[in-house]
Amino acid sequence: MKFMVYNVRDDEIPFVEKWGKDHHIEVKTTTTTLNTTTIQDAAGYDGVSGLQTIPYSQLLFAEFKKLGIHYLALRNVGVDNVDLQAASDNDVLVTNVPAYSPESIAEFAVTMALFLTRKVGYMQRQLMEQHKFHFAPEFMGRLISDQTVGIIGTGRIGRHAISMFRGLGAKVIAYDKYPVKETNGEFAYVKDLHELVSQSDIISLHMPATADNFHLFNHELFEMMKDNAILINTARGSIVDTQDLIFALESGEIAAAGIDTLENESADLQDSRSTKKLTDPDVIKLSMMPNVIITPHSAFHTSESVKNMVSISLNNLKDLVAGQKPDDLVN
């Protein structure tokens, strides 16, 4: 067996190398994005591991078939950027890593909420832009324990977020098309999304991207939110209409936003060696707002997550080549 690992980051390399040595399997790494051109470098390999937010297209899977490669193991959860039908049509089995560390993402969402409720961005702006360092009335924040937190999506990550917000004393309500049966009294489901949005002081998104929730958070929904509300998105960028979010922040429809993922993310976002300067006008505009924290799709990024993403992905490849059916098969 031998595997090719694309989009590898520097922090992943030690875990990849250790896995290869432990399992006596040749594993080659490359920092390049997986596309119809770079897939040629995997000729002669038994399987491919990938991590990217840009599409895995029909044309790419056609190249897989030409090269006789039948296995793609993602190192992430989301498959919304994967043409799964094209993968199946070209005899490519795809796996993901559905739970590499849900605590990591949930913890980051809570971190963003604390940053924004305590007005840390305003303190930083005073210091960095005005070179002043003193108390100001506009720094007055709110206690999490005085607020209602709305969680959208009560899967693994959402339930960890609920537990953490509850630990800070918040009242938690939730909405999910497929609610869990047992809430253990930690939170209450509301009947629909509009009810959650109108009641919540903090809204944290924890659902996958689907065709049904594209731009779910748009001008109409922002108007329903409280004017002191905070939106946290550590899920998928396509769920939020970026232009409508910027308008909502500038007009005061909502108070603040924590954004870890944006729509139309580029390949450079996951390239730790990139030297390109930021040019996206939306990211620049959001980054200049003291009531916004924006990060480069990094909520997952802990040592525990990286280790699990690498090892689970490569274990899935090993099982597939051995003729076994991994639990993480998605097509």
Question: Is position 212 within any domain?
Answer: yes
Looking at 265, 273, 301, 304, which residue is catalytic?
265
Angle at 95 between CA 268 and CA 10, to 5 degrees: 35
pTM of the model: 0.88
Smallest Cα–Cα separation from 99: which of 73, 71, 76?
76
For residue 225, give the nearest of 204, 192, 201 by alpha carbon.
201
In a domain, 327, yes or no: no
Q: Are residues 69 and 112 in the same domain?
A: no
- Specify if 83 maps to a domain: yes
């799964």: which residue's tokens? Answer: 84
Give me the number of domains the chain comprises: 2
- Give the residues across from 74 on adjacent strands: 50
* CA–CA distances in Å: residue 325 to residues 83, 317, 330, 331: 20, 10, 11, 11
Question: Is the same domain home to 119 and 69?
Answer: no
Residues 148 and 290 in one domain: yes
Q: Which two tokens stand for residue 226?
A: 């409280």
Q: Which domain holds residue 280?
A: 102-294
Determine the residue type at 150.
G
Q: Examine the domain organization and report whether 239 and 205 are in the same domain.
A: yes
Asked whether residue 40 falls in the same domain as residue 158, the answer is: no
The pLDDT value recorded for residue 188 is 97
Do 84 and 114 have their domain in common? no
Pair (94, 194) in one structural domain: no
Cβ atoms within 10 Å of 121's Cβ, excluding its own? 16
Going by C-beta distance under 8 Å and a sequence separation of 6 or more, which residues neighbour residue 212? Answer: none
Q: How does DSSP classify residue 302?
A: S
Rounded CA-CA distance 132/114 in Å is: 23
Tokens coding 307 = 């280790």
Distance CA 256, CA 292 (A): 6
For the chain, report the end-to-end CA distance as a whole number of angstroms: 22
Same domain, 191 and 262: yes
Residues 93 and 36 in one domain: yes
pLDDT given for residue 4 in this prediction: 98
Q: Active-site residue 297, yes or no?
A: yes
Instruction: For the sheet with 47-50, list strands across it.
Output: 26-29, 2-5, 47-50, 71-74, 93-95
Closest among 51, 54, 56, 8 to 28, alpha carbons compared: 8
Please tell me the predicted confidence (pLDDT) of residue 78: 87
Torsion sign over Cα 280, 230, 193, 219? negative
Which pLDDT score, from 0 to 100, does residue 277 have?
87
Same domain (yes/no): 260, 232? yes
Return phi, psi of residue 269, to 5°.
Answer: -60, -35
Catalytic residue list contains 273: no
Domain membership flag for residue 328: no
Same domain flag for 219 and 286:
yes
- Has 265 been annotated as catalytic? yes
Q: Which of 63, 236, 253, 301 is catalytic?
A: 236
Q: What is the pLDDT along the chain (331 residues), one digit of tens a residue?
A: 999 999 999 999 999 999 999 999 999 999 999 999 999 999 999 999 999 989 999 999 999 999 999 999 999 988 999 999 999 999 999 999 998 999 999 999 999 999 999 999 999 999 999 999 999 999 999 999 999 999 999 999 999 999 999 999 999 999 999 999 999 999 999 999 999 999 999 999 999 999 999 999 999 999 999 999 999 999 999 999 999 999 999 999 999 999 999 998 877 776 777 788 889 999 999 999 999 999 999 999 999 999 999 999 999 999 999 999 999 999 9
Task: For residues 89 and 128, state if they share a domain.
Answer: no
CA dihedral 250, 120, 172, 251 (to 10 degrees): -10
pLDDT of residue 275: 81
